[in-house]
Structure 1
Amino acid sequence: MKPKQKITNQNSLFFNFEDTLNQNHPLFILANKIHWHVFEEAFLPLYSQDKGRPAKPIRLMVGLLMLKHIRNVSDESVVEQWSENIYYQYFCGEIAFVSAPPCQSSELVYFRNRIGEKGIELILKESIRINGDDANDSNVNIDTTVQEKNITFPTDAKLHKKIIKKCQKIAKEEQLPVRQTYTRILKELSIAQRFRNHPKNKVKARKADRKLKTIAGRLVRELERNLPPNSRYQSQLNLYKEVLAQKRGSKNKVYSLHEPEVCCISKGKEHKKYEFGNKASFVKTDTGVIVGALGFRNEYDGHTLEPTLKQVKRLTEKQPKRSKVDRGYRGKKQIGETVILMPSTPKKNLSYYQRKKRSAAHKKRAAIEPVIGHIKTDHRLNRNFYKGIAGDNINIILAAAAFNFKRMINKWKSSFLHLFESIQIHLKTLYYFQIQIKTNF
């Protein structure tokens, strides 16, 4: 059911956020800059008019999502901190202090799934608008990175052990007959698989791997015989058979049972040869605002340009004139009205001025690398905990929006500190003149 409208014109008799909070605090300023009515108008049709219990206020849920990625905390932590932080409460629309938690942490999951990728894009669009004229730059820089999924490093032995545990769980839940529990054998195989890199243990570990795969296949076939046709476990069993059938050179391999869409991506890093997740594309203006963030599977970088630039036009309502990319985007020189600039050996007919101008432009493009690093470490892009392909895209867009909000917060902080320093300098000069006048008289 749609949320009830909060009454904001009734002030508390003894305590009110508007009168007591520091109005120069960045979260106080940000709360008054965001157009909250945009989210309420867009998300209200997603709720039923008369069925179910009244939902939580839309501003509260959107504010919690923003705070989570701005402050780099989990769903549980942001809900817990909300009841302790009065600036969080004012940011989410409260007018007086509330001691109780705002909602259950699981409600944030349902809200994200309710609004979907389009709703999350609306948050990114609002973060671009907050940055004002800085977001109206016609020159953009585009780069891709890997968003790693929250899975363990995949090996065949790990996947086969998980298949065995899942099959045993299904047999227990459905009370199916089991020919053998394999408890003692599995323990012996786990011991044999340890220290596999030692020369004396390699053969023994390989034999244990083969035996583990045999047991996993045996349990899957046994479940297929005992379960009725077209049971609710059929999709799981098909996935297990796909994992058992895949080999070293197979394409579209499954690397995780609970996240089968995960891709193995190699970006040529010396310290991390393979990363398991999905590809994320970011568009940054020369002024430092992220105006585009989109998720892909494992496409070639050049094929990500067109959908990325379409998203930029959708969010900023204008097409960039020039886009600077690295050599990984070979093959595209222009997309629509956007010219794609790529570093290459300059032609002989170019003047010295033109060469220096191009060189400076591509040096400026390198500034997107540390920006992506900040998004990863500060705004939860380093490891994605959201489920499925939709969760991949939601995490990317929310991380980009949080970066834009944090950029404005840092800007307001620096301007306030500059004002504070100038006031201190004026006070010191006044004090100095007072001392001089006293000594003269």
Structure 2
Amino acid sequence: MLGKIKPDFQQNLFQTRLTDLINLGHPLVKLAHELNWNKMELEFQKLYSEQGRPSIPIRKIAGLLLLKEMFKESDESVVERWIENPYWQYFTGEIFFQNKQPFDPSEFVHFRKRLQESGLEFLLSQTVSLHPEAKNEKEVQIDTTVMEKNITFPTDAKLAKKVIDNCNKIANKEGVIQRQTYKRVAKQHLRDAYFGHHPKRKKKAVAARKKLRTIGNRVIRELERKLPESTLKQYESEFVKYKKVLSQERKSKDKIYSLHEPQTACIAKGKAHKAYEFGTKVAVTRGRKTGIITSIKRFGGNPHDSKTLEESLAQSERVREQIGGTRPTIASTDRGFRGVTQVENTKIEIPKNTKEKSRYKQEVARKRFRARTAIEPTISHLKRNHALELNFLKGVDGDIHNALLSGIGYNLKMRFNQIKEQIVLWLQFLILIFENVVFNINLKTQKVSF
């Protein structure tokens, strides 16, 4: 059953109304009034069963999810801060001030799984609708970045040691008596493999890495011999992954860099301070004039930038169509996207040095590609302020969800800051009027006294 927040106009002797505590001119209050909560509830109610215990109200859990992305909170911390902050409670539809936890933080996991990619695209479209000019903007800017996964820096020795440890856990779980667990031996070999680039330690480190791989294969073969066939089928995919980890070389393709996140890729973006990043590639689509994100798409592996254009523009079209918008007609990119000039009805603009253009066209192109660099600070804000820098969510679905949620948080924060600026300008205007009135009164009093 779908839970709902019922409007309560009756006064309560033991509870305080939020409207008596907060400033109704606060930016978060105004933002809560601008969002279409009814449309959100109609869209998400089909995700719930008609029978059973009432769920958490959609406005409450969706509102907390939006606050989490706006202010870069974790699942646990956003629930804790909600108890302390009456503005956050008002944003999520509460009427009276609450002093208890709204729900367990693990509910966020289930809600994100319910939403899936289509539900998060709907949320993204609702944040775009807060900026009316963005839905029909003709020109967008596209660039790619790396969303790193929360894994340790992978090395052959560490991965081999994890394979041995995981095999020992399987043996303990299934009651297999091993000839040897190699716990202490593997730990010592891992220590020996450290700092293998040093001339005095290189020989010992190479031998230690080789020995860890040998032990890993030995433990896997023992389990394959001793496990029953019915049980062995359950671990077949795991053993295939372990064997691939132990056999992969430096130049192998589709390498595994993490056992619990095998989809993680090694991506080099040419950064001086960070040669390699381990995660997934994300393409960001941003309006040239408004700066609003209409698409933020995750891609598996490490595809060429030009291969990301079609899906990014398709997602942007879906998001904009949900609020009555149109597909962008021009997309400006950097030289990393070379090779594509047209994607369906969208023209791809890439910096080129051609002498055939007139002086005027050269100047127009120069201004366009200078404006394109504005997407770089946008990506920086997404990473620093909206959790795109390090992804803690699990699996491929976690990559997709984290990317889209960071774009949702960015658009909301943009509108939040715009409302703040409008309030400041309005206060300055009132102060100016008040000063003029006082000045005129002083002039009149001076004339009367004279």
Q: TM-score, normalised by structure 2?
A: 0.93
What is the CA distance between 1:416 and its match in structure 2? Answer: 0.8
The match for 1:117 is: 117
The match for 2:355 is: 347
Q: Of residues 252, 257, 260 in structure 2, which corresponds to 1:258?
A: 260
Q: What is the aligned-residue identity percentage?
A: 42
Per-residue CA deviation, residues 211-262 of structure 1 (Å, 9 max, x unaligned), is 1111111111111112122422222122111111211111001100000011
The match for 2:166 is: 166
Q: Is the 8 A contact 1:279 1:296 kept in 2?
A: yes
What is the CA distance between 1:17 and its match in structure 2? Answer: 2.3
Q: Is the 8 A contact 1:135 1:289 kept in 2?
A: no
Counterparts of residues 10-409 of structure 1 (less than 5 Å): 10-13=9-12, 15-51=16-52, 53-231=53-231, 232-286=234-288, 287-297=290-300, 298-317=302-321, 318-348=326-356, 350-409=357-416
Backbone CA RMSD of aligned residues = 1.8
What is the CA distance between 1:38 and its match in structure 2? Answer: 2.0
Structure 1 pair 11–303 and aligned structure 2 pair: CA distance change class (3 A)? farther
What is the CA distance between 1:438 and its match in structure 2? Answer: 6.3
What is the CA distance between 1:74 and its match in structure 2? Answer: 0.6
Per-residue CA deviation, residues 160-189 of structure 1 (Å, 9 max, x unaligned), is 111111111111222210111323323432
Which sections of structure 1, spanning at least 5 residues, go unmatched?
A: none
Opposite residue 166 of structure 1, the aligned amino acid is N
Q: Aligned partners of 1:6, 1:366: CA distance in 2, in Å?
A: 45
Instruction: Choose 183-192 or 80-89, whichever is displaced more.
Output: 183-192
The match for 1:414 is: 421
Q: Aligned partners of 2:287, 2:190: CA distance in 1, in Å?
A: 52
Per-residue CA deviation, residues 129-179 of structure 1 (Å, 9 max, x unaligned), is 011224431111111111111111111111011111111111122221011
Instruction: Choose 309-318 or 398-407, whichever is displaced more.
Output: 309-318
Q: Aligned partners of 1:4, 1:368: CA distance in 2, in Å?
A: 40
Q: Is the 8 A contact 1:11 1:95 kept in 2?
A: no
Opposite residue 3 of structure 1, the aligned amino acid is L
Opposite residue 309 of structure 1, the aligned amino acid is L
Secondary structure in structure 2 of the residue aligned to 1:295: strand
Q: Is the 8 A contact 2:161 2:190 kept in 1?
A: no
Secondary structure in structure 2 of the residue aligned to 1:346: coil
Instruction: Choose 203-212 or 185-194, whichever is displaced more.
Output: 185-194
Per-residue CA deviation, residues 19-39 of structure 1 (Å, 9 max, x unaligned), is 542122121111111111222
Q: Is the 8 A contact 2:4 2:56 kept in 1?
A: no
Structure 1 pair 190–333 and aligned structure 2 pair: CA distance change class (3 A)? closer
Structure 1 pair 41–382 and aligned structure 2 pair: CA distance change class (3 A)? same
Instruction: Choose 430-439 or 407-416, whichever is displaced more.
Output: 430-439
Per-residue CA deviation, residues 63-85 of structure 1 (Å, 9 max, x unaligned), is 11111110001101111111111
What is the CA distance between 1:210 and its match in structure 2? Answer: 1.1
Structure 1 pair 285–184 and aligned structure 2 pair: CA distance change class (3 A)? closer
Q: Is the 8 A contact 1:280 1:296 kept in 2?
A: yes
Opposite residue 37 of structure 1, the aligned amino acid is N
Structure 1 pair 391–188 and aligned structure 2 pair: CA distance change class (3 A)? closer
Q: Aligned partners of 1:60, 1:49: CA distance in 2, in Å?
A: 19
Opposite residue 236 of structure 2, the aligned amino acid is Q
Structure 1 pair 116–16 and aligned structure 2 pair: CA distance change class (3 A)? same
Instruction: Choose 128-137 or 355-364, whichever is displaced more.
Output: 128-137
Q: Aligned partners of 1:136, 1:325: CA distance in 2, in Å?
A: 19
Secondary structure in structure 2 of the residue aligned to 1:83: helix
Counterparts of residues 428-439 of structure 1 (less than 5 Å): 428-431=435-438
Secondary structure in structure 2 of the residue aligned to 1:218: helix
Q: Is the 8 A contact 2:157 2:190 kept in 1?
A: no
What is the CA distance between 1:290 and its match in structure 2? Answer: 0.9
Q: Aligned partners of 1:188, 1:336: CA distance in 2, in Å?
A: 58
Per-residue CA deviation, residues 100-119 of structure 1 (Å, 9 max, x unaligned), is 11111111001101111111
Q: Aligned partners of 2:361, 2:331: CA distance in 1, in Å?
A: 17
What is the CA distance between 1:430 and its match in structure 2? Answer: 4.5
Q: Is the 8 A contact 2:143 2:284 kept in 1?
A: yes
Q: TM-score, normalised by structure 1?
A: 0.95
Q: Is the 8 A contact 1:290 1:400 kept in 2?
A: yes
Structure 1 pair 353–83 and aligned structure 2 pair: CA distance change class (3 A)? same
Opposite residue 164 of structure 1, the aligned amino acid is I
Structure 1 pair 113–426 and aligned structure 2 pair: CA distance change class (3 A)? same
Opposite residue 258 of structure 2, the aligned amino acid is S
Q: Aligned partners of 1:191, 1:282: CA distance in 2, in Å?
A: 41
Which sections of structure 2, spanning at least 5 residues, go unmatched?
A: none
Q: Is the 8 A contact 2:70 2:386 kept in 1?
A: yes
